[in-house]
Structure 1
């Protein structure tokens, strides 16, 4: 995957902070950069995914990229909730 480049300032400033995990799958280019690393079906995949996403979080922190940090945090949070679902329900299906 090519290195991440921050979007232009007008696009960057259009980011709206939302509660919880809202907006995480809609805001490009962060979505396309982080989504391939988001895995949670098995404990090992979830652990590796969390470590990778956390490294992205730290990278965004070093760049002073608040939007990237927030998006990485949301992906980590979503992975945790999905991993819990797989742990609690056979096949990950609640219904």
Structure 2
């Protein structure tokens, strides 16, 4: 699960790698502050903070979340690029205080 979350915004079967962030930007979302993927012991979560409830924005957000939940592409090269993030999060997760919580 911990290797899945960093891949959340790296492409789906309908949105190729590199196209999701520009698509989000068209609706005023920034990669980072308005997007998130996280894991815990029991949950893998994905989040988009939409700036409006305008129909086209909500439809696009739901389209992207559906793709992230069910149609992520696990390209070996993309996964390799995310390796450092994955390993860094694993090191952080294995600290005594994180294991406690």
| TM-score bracket for the superposition, by shorter chain length | 0.3 to 0.5
Q: Which has the higher helix share?
A: 1
Q: Which has the higher strand share?
A: 2
